[in-house]
Chains A and B, each alone.
Chain A
Amino acid sequence: MSTLLDIQDLKIHFHTRDGVVKAVDGVSLKVEQGEIAGIVGESGSGKSVTAYSLLGLIPMPPGKIEGGRALFQGTDLLRLSEREINQFRGRKISMIFQDPMTSLNPYLRVSTQLTEPLAIHERLHGKPALHRAIEALEQVGIENAEKRIHSYPHEFSGGMRQRVMIAMALITKPDLLIADEPTTALDVTVQKQVLDVIRNLQKETGTAVIFITHDLAVVHEMCDSVNVLYAGRLIESAPTAELFHKPLHAYTRGLYKSNPGTHRKGEDLYSIPGLPPDLSRLPAGCSFRARNTLGDASLCLTDRQPELIEIQAGHFVQNCPGCLARHEAAVVS
């Protein structure tokens, strides 16, 4: 397997009236060809901003890329002009979004929107384009696609719209699909179906996927590798099996523990206390110190940011003694 996308030390800051918000502050991660790479984190951890920056979708200003590189097949996506990045958008890298109710244009027929990538990137119009679009709809499991393709988005349910989004994203057979919480806005039964569609198409086409979510259960089911983000920084990164077997960082352990699936019925659910720090007033040291109950907060770095180290082949973690320590009472039997 070779590396498809290599993000190195990405820094994206937003310059607002209340100061500089360090939304992403030194994130490095890799996506291998054909894998599903998960990015997990709470709201505001920088997962969506990281993904949006790859397609140049960060509003600038107020956003600014302060540093880092994102090498995609050898090209640094962060340095491209609007015209150059348009050669990647929708052609080599596609994206699906969180809310399928608002991500499709309510004023245009599904057929118009679905054939648009073909017109842009393959100069395919008319009947042949429509055929490809119908095929794409069938692939994501929309029945009666020939007729339904002429409907407007409001005539589809949420789950169906997300299927349309997936069909639209994959119609050009991109090398990378960015899925930004694609099932968060859907109800549970539909979630499962949409996840199946994504996974099956991923297997069929070999497209690599960046899967952004805050749901560890979904990560476990979908992803080959996991990247845990906290307060704009990468906390821990490992192959999925390894991470679930041996979570090292106190935050990762906390996430794992707060997952209902890991509890016996009737047992109280663990939750990480407090809130993520204000990204415009980050502490000098370990940003997780104030919420660290599973490690030893007294050992957390206070003078400098912990560095990322490779503790085992493929398993990276922030080297903060307090977060790596295991609190006596917290050790799970």
Chain B
Amino acid sequence: MLRNIIHRLLQGLLVLYVLGTLTFFLVHALPYGPFQDEKAVPPHVMERLEKLHGYDKPLYTQYFLRLKNIAQGNLGMSIKVMEGRKVSDILGQAFPVSLTLGIIAICIAMLIGIPAGIFAAIRKNSIVDYAIMTVALLGICLPNFVIGPMLAEFFGAKLGLVPVAGWNPANPFSLLLPALTLGLVSAAYLSRLTRAGMLEILNQDFIRTARAKGQKGWIIVTRHALRGGLIPSIAYLGPAFAATVSGSVVVEAIFQVPGIGRLFIKAIETGDETLIMGPVLLYGTLIVIANFLADLLQIWLNPRLRAANAD
């Protein structure tokens, strides 16, 4: 088990290294740079800016310099978008917002998706099943820039139950709409995965054994079927969580949430390499960790895998 963990850790570091390297060279290959402006920049100013940020050195020197700094935990300063501020400070402020949004979203997704999937599986091929699966398909097909404004229009503007936009941690209702918008896609996927997983387990011989014992239907579902039936959903949850946290760009824009997403877009627009690298590495780490946790959870749920990993 320990060997496994070390192995995965090294693997994760390699992923991050490749990710960072690719990002660095891609940003430098952009046809525009962070020092360009709408107004023409005088050559001597440009020269000074380039020198200030080390852009006058050869590319490979810059690369190794960045690598060394990042390895020491120094993400550098924003070149353009929030000029002169440390990237770590910017992320420190914006990331908790995005993370909170993502966590609430994934919780909503689980609360809606998993019960819906279980219910659809139990009532397989009934009206209930078809209704749930149709809604789920809609949820997968509709992009969040359609769902978001629709929710805002209905619950915010028409019913006035929640604020239309804005982010106010003191008012939990202001978090609800963006989280719901963000979580619905995952809820839809989760319901389909849970349904498929449960159906597979409910067809197994040992479910028949449980019925032959006289066990009640709902206990068969919760005790005998749920553990195995949730495994596909859990495999999905790890990457889905990372994708939800990092994929909130559009939702943050719709609901005016001061998360990382908006900064990230601006950074890409201007070629602000440090402010691109920061979120990329942060989300990369998040995805690596989430996948790892999902794998651990799967092993824990399945006694056969647990035994195989015990040594």
Contacts and interface: CB of A to CB of B under 8 A. Distances in A.
Interface in B206-249: 206, 208-217, 223-224, 227-228
Contacts, number: 74
B213 A116 contact: yes
Contact of B307 (A88, A97, A154): A154
B223 A108 contact: yes
A87 B214 CA distance: 7
Interface string B177-208: 00000000000000000000000000011101
Given A107-B301, A152-B307, A86 B214 contact: yes
Contact of B212 (A57, A104, A154): A57
Interface residues of A, number: 29
A106 B211 CA distance: 16
Contacts of B134: none
A103 B209 contact: yes
A39 B227 CA distance: 36
Contact of A117 (B211, B213, B228): B213
Interface in A50-105: 55, 57, 82, 86-91, 94-95, 97, 99, 102-105
B225 to A, nearest CB: 9
Nearest to B228: A107
A121 B227 contact: no
Contacts of B223: 108
Contact of A107 (B214, B217, B302): B302
Given A105-B224, A152-B303, A154-B303, A120 B214 contact: yes
A91 B303 contact: no
Nearest to B304: A154
A55 B224 CA distance: 19
Given A97-B205, A120-B215, A105 B302 contact: no
A97 B228 CA distance: 21
A89 B214 contact: yes
Interface in B254-311: 301-304, 307
A329 to B, nearest CB: 45
B276 to A, nearest CB: 45
Nearest to B217: A82
A108 B208 CA distance: 15
Contacts of B205: 97, 99, 102-103
A105 B210 contact: yes
A106 B306 CA distance: 12
Contacts of A103: 205-206, 208-209
Nearest to B231: A107
A152 B217 CA distance: 23
A36 interface: no
A108 B307 contact: no
A330 B228 CA distance: 55
B214 A117 contact: yes
Contact of A105 (B206, B217, B301): B206
B214 A102 contact: no
A57 B211 contact: yes
A152 B307 CA distance: 10
Nearest to A178: B212
A102 B228 CA distance: 13
Nearest to B227: A107
A88 B209 contact: no
Interface of A: 55, 57, 82, 86-91, 94-95, 97, 99, 102-108, 116-117, 120-121, 152, 154-155, 165, 168
* The 8 A-B residue pairs with the shortest CB-CB distance in the complex, in nearest-first order: A89-B214, A90-B213, A90-B214, A102-B205, A105-B206, A152-B303, A107-B227, A86-B214
Interface of B: 204-206, 208-217, 223-224, 227-228, 301-304, 307
21 contacts: A86-B216, A89-B212, A97-B209, A102-B206, A103-B206, A103-B208, A103-B209, A104-B206, A105-B206, A105-B209, A106-B302, A107-B228, A107-B301, A108-B223, A116-B210, A116-B215, A120-B215, A120-B216, A152-B303, A154-B307, A168-B213
